[in-house]
Chains A and B, each alone.
Chain A
Amino acid sequence: MCRNEAIAWNVIEDKAVLLDRAEGRAIILNEVGSYIWRSLDTKMAASEIIALVSQHFNSGNIRIEKDIRFFLDELLRRDLIRMEEG
């Protein structure tokens, strides 16, 4: 997975703020979402992201994994991130 390059973004007060020009709206991510977004500097698989977040926030349970997968699906559906083939 990687960020959609068309999305302009910045970090304001530790939160990732995404500017979705196509949609004409801005999205402010929460702490975990902001961490994931910033981590997508390099391409990563969903499992890698889950591992990274679990390690960073020092918690690894099924609930967190479900939440992260839901969050990533949401980003995909909104075309904020893209699946990279190969």
Chain B
Amino acid sequence: MDNVFVMENHNEALAYWRRLGVKDKTLVHIDSHFDFAWITDSDPQALLSLKSLEGFKKNSLMNPLWNLSGRAKEELVHIGNYIEPAIKEGIVGEFFWVVPDFFCSTKIRLRRLKNQIRDSLLRNPGFNTKVVTENNCLKAKIGKVNLTVCSLEALPRIESDALLDIDVDYFVNNNALWLHPDTFARILKQKVPRGLVTIAYSVEGGFTPIEYKFIGDYLLALFDDSLSDTAQYRQAMDSLIKAAEAKKNKALLEAESFLKEAFVLCPDSAAIQYHFSMLYYALGLKRPARDYYWQAVSKDGSYRTLYNNRGPVLEENSRLHSARREYEKMLELDPENFHYYARLGNIFSQKKDWGRALENYAAALRLHPRSHEAYAGRGYVFLKQKRLDEAIESFTQSLTLNPHNPYANYWIGAAYMNMKQYTQAMRSIRCALNNGFFTLPQARWRLVFIYWKNKVYNRMCDEIKYACIASYYDSIKRIA
């Protein structure tokens, strides 16, 4: 392929397509995630330019696609929705989402996938579509664009120039590779011989474990015809895959010998240095672990991220003890990384160990005085300790740095409620709803209380309705 681009965040693909003036192409999106969602970018200001009240009344502002966050249109495009503007702008004429094989390996999984797609599409109330199952594939229409969801094996041959849009997280399942990039490239090149390739690492956010970030570079070597003599590099990456597998199977010495093989072939790879670092840490050799960590970071600064360990994913799965161990491990390698302190603060806060939470937030803020996450976390601790003035000050500092943070908006609202400042509380909680907490039942119920206190009974009745709906869906989600 002639044009191959590698990026961290998948939505950067849209910028490449726009810049190259791509139109009406077949998109082959190879990913564990759909990356299509309706964007809430309709400007409600347009309602005010209507000429008649009749037209005005027909357009309800409760339509979830109105942009009530006050953010610019481009700011609303992210890794989870960038395919929507690509379709709207005519970049994409047909859309294939190639999912990992195990997504549709059983009828139950296929049905779950079908529900996920239907729910995503129907979130737009003005949109009506049917998702149908055909030969183990799912088919639907997004406007005039045909959508097909299938495995790599079921992908038909595409003769025209295509957009090959690959996410590295496609290759990883349960922290192991389920498909070798060589096998993938061989099959894909037969099915899609020509096109523009975009490859996303997707480490930020915890989608691709950082130890597999190098798969993105490996794919680049496999697809970019302009790179000369990649045989040695590919051999090194193959050894790295074997090292990662061996480490996962706790065969640490075997992993070390594969890593040494890889290092001889490719001594400048940050990925190999990072793997050495983690391996030596597992072997209890902390000094070389630290040295290799810093060598990796000096070669590629993106290895110094919050997501260079499993802490965030463990936290998300409520495995707080393991997450804490991960952050503490990383602090031994990188003692000045404020992210780990902020996250340790969150963990202690969840365990209601307020003292240690505050200590860690203070450490994070000493290292990085603009950490909005640490300010918000500290605000929450102050709120729980009933230190309301300090809570509000800390949340305000967080919101000055990141005004759209729904967490800080929600909890500053809770602090105002505690202070009986209901108008301020209403504004903040509304802001949280408009910036991502739209369906959070607790936020809805807080609004019910505020309206009751403010004696705005008609709003209260409306809000009870939304609170009940949000609570219903929340309980269904918990049961599922």
Contacts and interface: CB of A to CB of B under 8 A. Distances in A.
A2 to B, nearest CB: 15
Interface string B56-88: 110001100010101000000000000000000
A17 B61 CA distance: 13
A10 interface: yes
A12 B70 contact: no
B68 A8 contact: no
A6 to B, nearest CB: 9
B275 interface: no
Contacts of A46: none
Contacts of B70: 21
Nearest to A4: B427
A11 B53 CA distance: 10
Contacts of B57: 28
B45 interface: yes
Interface string B37-57: 000000011011111110011
Contacts of B47: 17, 19, 26
Contacts of B56: 12, 17, 26, 28
- For B45, B48, B66, B454, which residue has the most chain A Cβ atoms within 10 angstroms? B48
B53 A12 contact: yes
A19 B44 contact: yes
What band does the interface of chain B fall in when counting residues whose beta carbon is under 8 Å from A?
A: 20 to 34
B48 A8 contact: yes
B120 interface: no
A13 B50 CA distance: 10
B431 A22 contact: yes
Contacts of A74: 456
B49 A23 contact: no
B423 interface: yes
A63 interface: no
A24 interface: yes
B62 A24 contact: yes
Contact of B434 (A13, A22, A26, A78): A22
A35 interface: no
Interface string B326-350: 0000000000000000000000000
B431 A24 contact: no
Given A12-B56, A77-B454, A77-B456, A17 B48 contact: yes
15 contacts: A8-B44, A8-B48, A10-B49, A12-B48, A12-B51, A12-B52, A13-B53, A17-B53, A19-B44, A21-B44, A21-B68, A22-B427, A24-B61, A28-B57, A79-B423
Query: Nearest 5 pairs between A and B by C-beta?
Result: A10-B48, A22-B430, A25-B61, A77-B454, A21-B68
